[in-house]
Amino acid sequence: MNIIKVKDTEMGGKEAFKLMKADIENGAKVLGLATGSSPITLYNEMTSSDLDFSNMTSVNLDEYVGLKPDNEQSYHYFMKEHLFSKKPFKNSYVPDGSNPDAEAATKAYDKIIEENPIDLQILGIGRNGHIGFNEPGSPLDGTTRKVGLTESTIEANTRFFEDEKDVPRFAYSMGIGSIMKAKKIILLAYGEAKADAIAATVDGPVTEDCPASALQNHPDVTLIIDEAAASKL
Ligand code: GLP
């Protein structure tokens, strides 16, 4: 794994953007995108750049089950607000959280991923090492699934909702196996709350207990992290 240490989230966004830009100049056409606070400075770099994404495709990692795209807490809405309203892509895919039929929703998403192989995948990481919404215990070779969120993830996400009981308990998430098929991966992590997860990702055994540890088996992963997130390495 390559590790780039940065001073703060602003610098992290700039470093990630540099790598993304080079990849696009080298022909990348499909970006795997993530939600959460960690990629926001990268999305700011993208929207303020002169890059044109209108002939590119984006494929997002996950979506809450039960939220419609116009729900302000949905990941559809997040992506529109932070990126797509300012820099439209030719096609942008996010799992359909409004489809209660998990089998149909996840199969449809796997087909989308298969038809749009990801050149560059952007990832954040949960405090417990989850990537996408692949919580500890997720199969390291999994495809898109309906997943139950852990208490720690529900608690971490409560800040985005008025009440903890409003936080959805389930999500549709791209699996770790699908994430591992991306040609390149950039993982962004900032702050002390991520230090244990980063240590387990980099130095720990490859285990379902820390889903991001699977990335040790990927040939082209770059971690962009600040000092606090790197403090237990
Ligand atoms: C959620 C998302 C993940 C994200 C994680 C960390 O659980 N499903 O994709 O990586 O939050 O979010 P943040 O970057 O806000 O710490």
User: What are the domain boundaries of the chain?
Assistant: 2-226
**DSSP state letter for 131:** B
Whose C-alpha lies nearest to ligand 1, atom 12? 36
Does 15 qualify as catalytic in the annotation? no
Q: Is 128 a catalytic residue?
A: yes
**69 contacts 104 by C-beta, under 8 angstroms:** no
Distance (Å, rounded) from C-alpha 20 to C-alpha 121?
10
ipTM: 0.96
Please state the separation of Cα 98 from the chain's center in Å. 20
Rounded to whole angstroms, how far apart are CA atoms 154 and 90?
33
Largest interatomic CA distance in the chain: 45
State which CATH number among 3.40.50.2300, 3.40.1780.10, 3.40.50.20, 3.40.50.1360 fits the domain covering 2-226: 3.40.50.1360
pLDDT score of 6 more than 90: yes
Q: Does the active-site annotation cover 101?
A: no
Question: How do residues 130-178 score in pLDDT, each as one tens digit?
Answer: 999 999 999 999 999 999 999 988 998 888 888 888 899 999 999 999 9
45 lines ligand 1 (CB under 6 A): no
Amino acid at position 1, single letter: M
What are the CA-CA distances from residue 68 to residues 31, 65, 97, 100, 120 (Å)?
A: 23, 9, 6, 11, 27
pLDDT digits (tens, 9 = 90+) for 31-77: 999 999 999 999 999 999 999 999 999 999 999 999 999 999 999 99
pTM flag (> 0.95): yes
pLDDT at 233 over 90: yes
Which is nearest to 130 in space by CA: 6, 67, 215?
215
Q: Is 36 in the pocket of ligand 1 (CB under 6 A)?
A: yes
